[in-house]
Amino acid sequence: MTHQLRHMLRDDDITHEEQKQILKLGMKFRENRFYSQPFAGPQAVAVLFDKNSTRTRSSFSIGVAELGGYPLVIDKSSSQLGRGEPVADTARVLTRMAYTIVWRTYGQDRVEEMAKYSTVPVINALTDDFHPCQVLADFLTIAQFRGGVDELHNKTIAYVGDAANNMSNSYLLAGAVAGMDVRVAGPQGFLPRKDIVDDAKRIAEQNGGSILVTTDPREAVDGADCVFTDTWVSMGEEAEYAIRSKPFWDYQVNDKLMSYAKPDALFQHCLPAYRGKEVTPSVIDGPQSVVWDEAENRLHAQKALMTWLIAWQREDPSLLGE
């Protein structure tokens, strides 16, 4: 392991083996919350929010504290970044104080700009394009319930709903990295960008997986090991609320749609969920749903990710616990 500044800006910033390494570390944190304390000191991690959050805020705050560090949480409304201070200048300042920068914002270009000027790892805590921390937690949840990290490449996952959003993009890329069979389904006009599908197909081929993009929700879910959905109206799209309901009704995850998946298929949702819209109460509150474990796994997966990034920076493979 040679010294390297690594970032997690999109799901394909890591390789197949690296994803497994992080998820296995996540399993260790699941078993023992205080498994390792790389930020003991305490060293600060800056956690910035330009959009609302409950799970990401709590899992990073608590996660950094449990890693022995100090979580410095800054909201857009109370920062100079929120008043238009350049991203580059913010990066130049934070990088001299914090040991990692975590940021939830709008454009993907913003986290890329932050990483360009940072000398510490930058983690994307959700942009309009990707939510890589969520999908690490989601894959940790599949590993938890269905045979461990080494079995992930044998799984078929289906995401149904707004297939043009950050979750859909992240399932495509992270699933391709994992070597899974990934299917995403959404209505015309709400399908993923070509460049993301092309990247996912190229990576899936390298790792023995496959990518299917379809407008047919049943085709996506057919025989799947895990079914995912997400809100039909993501943060920043609130003005489109009225036009974003009608096209999605055929993509609601209900008992009928779940019946096409494997009989023991898991159901996951990154949350917050809108019951009666993208998912029925019978599914999200039913026996196949693992959404609360999924939410808890944000904590374990992100602690593993932060530890992994710091291990690269410090050239310290002992932090990986292998």
**Residues belonging to the active site:** 104, 131, 134, 230, 270, 298
The b/e string for 256-287 (b: 16+ C-beta within 10 A; e otherwise) is ebbebbbeebbbbbbbebeeebbbbeebbeee
Site string for ligand CP, 41-80 (x = CB under 6 A): ------------xxxx------------------------
Residue span binding ligand NVA (CB under 6 A) among the ranges 42-50, 73-81, 163-171, 238-246: 163-171
Report the site for ligand NVA in 268-297 (rule: CB under 6 A): 270
The site string for ligand CP over 124-143 (x = CB under 6 A, - otherwise) reads: --x-------x---------
Contact between 21 and ligand CP by CB under 6 A: the answer reads no
- Least separation in angstroms between CB 231 and ligand NVA: 5
Quote the crossing angle between the two packed helices 194-207 and 166-178, to the nearest 10°. 20
Interacting residue with ligand CP among 260, 271, 277, 316 (CB under 6 A): 271
235 is in an annotated binding site: yes
With both helix axes pointing from N to C terminus, report the angle between 87-94 and 108-117 in degrees, rounded to the nearest 10.
40
| Longest CA pairwise span in the chain (Å) | 54
Nearer to ligand NVA, 70 or 106 (CB): 106
Q: Is 172 annotated as a binding residue?
A: no
Site string for ligand NVA, 67-96 (x = CB under 6 A): ------------------------------
Select from 164-172, 217-225, 248-256, 287-295 the region that touches ligand NVA (CB under 6 A). 164-172
**Contacts within 8 Å (CB) and 24+ apart, 91-94:** 91/115, 91/116, 91/117, 91/118, 91/122, 92/117, 94/46, 94/118, 94/120
Binding status of residue 165 toward ligand NVA by CB under 6 A: yes
Residues 226-245 that bind ligand NVA (CB under 6 A): 230-231, 234-235
**302 belongs to an annotated ligand binding site:** no
Partner touching 54 among ligand CP, ligand NVA, none, CB below 5 to 8 Å by kind: ligand CP
CB of 3 to ligand NVA, least distance (A): 33
**Shortest distance, CB of residue 56 to ligand NVA, whole angstroms?**
7
Name the minimum Å distance from CB 133 to ligand CP: 8
In angstroms, give the least distance from the CB of 59 to ligand CP.
8
Q: How far out from the chain centre does Cα 72 lie?
A: 21
Q: Which residues bind ligand NVA (CB under 6 A)?
A: 126, 165-167, 230-231, 234-235, 270
- Numbered residues of the known binding site for carbamoyl phosphate: 53-56, 80, 104, 131-134, 270-271, 298
Q: Which residues bind ligand CP (CB under 6 A)?
A: 53-56, 126, 134, 270-271
